[in-house]
Structure 1
Amino acid sequence: MSATSVRSFLDGLMKRYAPDPANMQSSPPVKKAPADLDVRTLASRPDLAPHWLAQLQKTRVTPLKSGVRPTASKVAILDDDLKVFLKCMDFTQARSHAKREFIDESVRIQALKHPHLVQVLGYSVVAYSTTFCVVLEFMELGTLRSCLRNPSFFHSQTAPSASNNTSPSPASAYQMCLDLAMGLRYLHSHRLPHGAISSSNVLVHANRQCKWNIQQLMQCQPRHYSSRRGHEGDRFGICDVVYVAPELLRCSTVEDLFAADIYALAVLFGEILTQKAPFADIYDALGPVGADVHIATIKADPTSTPEVLAPFATTIWPTENALIMAKCLDPTPANRPTIDAVVVALTPLVEKPTHVLES
């Protein structure tokens, strides 16, 4: 077959099978991300630029934990050998509304400054400039929950076994309580309820200073409770229902979230002073899921007495402080003290700790 014949044959096939241009619809244009969400230009945004850490763009980062979600945790070392924590969002996977919310909330928490809030140090992009990250203080000892389960946590690191006494020293335990109360007072003074108080949402520095994990204040973060009782079931088994104020399980709407914070804070204080989980006996008997269900049930029951609802014995507090701390756990939100009153009650205990804590 000659070259001319081959060309004619191929031309015929093309005419037969090629789509008719008259019947072809134009392809929809590729939808571009809004300019203010373009990861390549984030460094020039007026709200991000003053806090942009360009050095991180060329710094090796290490995943802190695995996961398939578009937000992830990483760590990095800055030029001055400062280890930092990175809360990241892969902008190649996230939708525009999620990107916008993540950035907006990152900017909002960056403005919060207090010695007992984990500090936002700045922003950057990593992973070949595809991932936006919020740069935060790295808290070496991890969560307070994990620290409190370590019997030697309150004692000298150089000689943790020098004493058989595993109860925390009053000075250090009360100082932690006061630190957290002062951090919460700062939030409440800015009309910001925490909404997710628990020992797992407190981070501990190498010097044993406690700080609220500021990430939990981002509205795009899941909360450990819902004001609607029916939504609590999918969270059973994580042991956070112990911090939930009774009204959050009894009412469809709750007006005073600040009072709910006070309740949760008092539970957290008891955990610090005893180094034991709240409602420990119930968890030992029923396990995580069964205990969560039981505790949620008694909290939701308006006939439950304060004794039934008590997560710890009242003797963990000195006599002069026992009343106000009992009021913090009052089932009626209006009976609970303000965070200012809690700070006032704790301050003398730190200055002159005479009460012997239970082991």
Structure 2
Amino acid sequence: MPSPIPVTRLLPKDINPFLDIGTCSSPLAKYSFGTSLQVPVQRFHGKVASRLWSTVIHWKELISVQPVGSGGFGSVYKAEYFGETVALKKVKKCTKNKLASRQSFWAELNAGHLRHRNIVRVIAATTCVPPGFGDEGSIGTILMEFVGDRNLHQILYACVEPLGEDKWHKYATDIAHGLRFIHSHSVVHLDIKPANVLVSREDVCKIADFGCSLKLDYKCEFSAISPHLSHVGGTYTHRAPELLKGEELTPKADIFSFGITWWQLITREQPYTGDRQHVLYAVVAHNLRPSVRDQDHPVFGSEQGRQVRTLLGRCWSGEGLCRPSAQELLLHLEQLRPQT
């Protein structure tokens, strides 16, 4: 669970990055940018020694900052850092819900220690901003790898180029690989949707925006949803029924969201129309799901289309136990790989 406790209460005093905000000096070693910023194992121990992201941002090395976009809890910028292009995310203070914005910042770091081809890599994160950087309204700042200027939402709804079967199959497989990896580390994303999947210049999908994520208790397969976690749930069109009902949380919530996202990849349509509250009620009470009828989408009329339709039905089942795991999902996707 993301913690609203200030990082000064979480880190040992000898690596507290806020003791000298003028110089932002750091005991963390800087390795080649192609790997990560790491803590020297010979000096520190335990969780600190295994941290792969820096607790200090070297502000003087951050140049050419340009705005890219903004969301509910923050803004994203493109910048140069030690000569490399990075993404800079500033999590802003939300006057209406300060707890939710604070939780969003700490949730972003649930996957900060993870390294995978299909996950956006965290480089550094801090709540310390030296004077003169104009970040008074920010809770914290996160540096991440810069994937590119495109996300799946833009590719689906703002591009005219065709999205063939081989392409949407590859994108779906990339997402499933990312989900298998984070789930194996007890992290649940909780906001899988096209806008939160970035696409690199090499056409590789990377899961981004962990602001709604949770770290599950390693002793359990599930975790009860605390009423105090006001940021939990993600986008309503992709939200699993158990989240809407306040039931136990498992990685299968991400599989439900994957199913909706995969349907969007195939159809390039929005999953629902109508009033938000009506959709939320219908998803839980009447098992409302996007249409997979042949007459609405001929792609589902082929033999392979019928197999896809069956797998989609399992992914967005109302019962989490009936949904495949990310590992099982990958096996099914391999069987559905287009013949070349």
TM range (shorter): 0.5 to 0.7
Contact 2:255 2:323 in 1 (8 A): yes
Match for residue 201 of structure 1? 196
Match for residue 26 of structure 2? 44
**Does structure 1 residue 75 correspond to structure 2 residue 62?**
no
Partner secondary structure for residue 198 of structure 2: strand
Q: Which of 271, 275, 279 is 1:295 aligned to?
A: 279
Q: Which of 148, 152, 173 is 1:144 aligned to?
A: 152
Q: Which of 322, 326, 332 is 1:339 aligned to?
A: 326
Flag the structure with higher helix content: 1
Shift of 1:62: 2.8
Aligned pairs for 1:1-359 within 5 A: 36=16, 37-38=18-19, 39-40=21-22, 42-44=24-26, 50=39, 51=54, 54=58, 56-57=60-61, 59-65=63-69, 72-80=75-83, 82-88=84-90, 108-123=110-125, 128=132, 133-152=141-160, 155=161, 166=162, 168-216=163-211, 240-249=235-244, 251=245, 253-279=246-272, 283=273, 286=274, 290=275, 292-301=276-285, 304-305=286-287, 309-313=288-292, 316=299, 318=304, 319-350=306-337, 352-353=338-339
Q: Summarize deviations over 1:300-330 as a string: whole Å, max 9, x none.
A: 31xx25xxx2213155452334323211122
Match for residue 24 of structure 1? none
- CA 1:127–1:133 in structure 2 vs 1: closer, same or farther (change >3 Å)? farther
Contact 1:314 1:326 in 2 (8 A): no
What TM-score, normalized by structure 1, do the two folds share?
0.63
Q: Summarize deviations over 1:259-311 as a string: whole Å, max 9, x none.
A: 221111111000011111112xxx2xx4xxx2x2221121231xx25xxx221
Shift of 1:176: 0.1
Q: Distance between the aligned counterparts of 2:242 and 2:77, measured in 1?
A: 37
Residue 203 of structure 2 aligns with an amino acid whose one-letter code is R
Residue 311 of structure 1 aligns with an amino acid whose one-letter code is P
Partner secondary structure for residue 59 of structure 1: strand
Contact 1:202 1:210 in 2 (8 A): yes
In angstroms, what is the RMSD of aligned CA positions?
Answer: 4.1
Contact 1:61 1:75 in 2 (8 A): yes
- CA 1:72–1:310 in structure 2 vs 1: closer, same or farther (change >3 Å)? closer
What TM-score, normalized by structure 2, do the two folds share?
0.66
- CA 1:191–1:202 in structure 2 vs 1: closer, same or farther (change >3 Å)? same
Q: Distance between the aligned counterparts of 2:268 and 2:77, measured in 1?
A: 29
- CA 1:123–1:191 in structure 2 vs 1: closer, same or farther (change >3 Å)? closer
Q: Percent identity?
A: 22
Residue 88 of structure 1 aligns with an amino acid whose one-letter code is K
Shift of 1:178: 0.3
Number of residue-to-residue matches in the alignment: 275
- CA 1:298–1:108 in structure 2 vs 1: closer, same or farther (change >3 Å)? closer
Q: Distance between the aligned counterparts of 2:317 and 2:100, measured in 1?
A: 38
Residue 271 of structure 2 aligns with an amino acid whose one-letter code is P
- CA 1:312–1:41 in structure 2 vs 1: closer, same or farther (change >3 Å)? farther
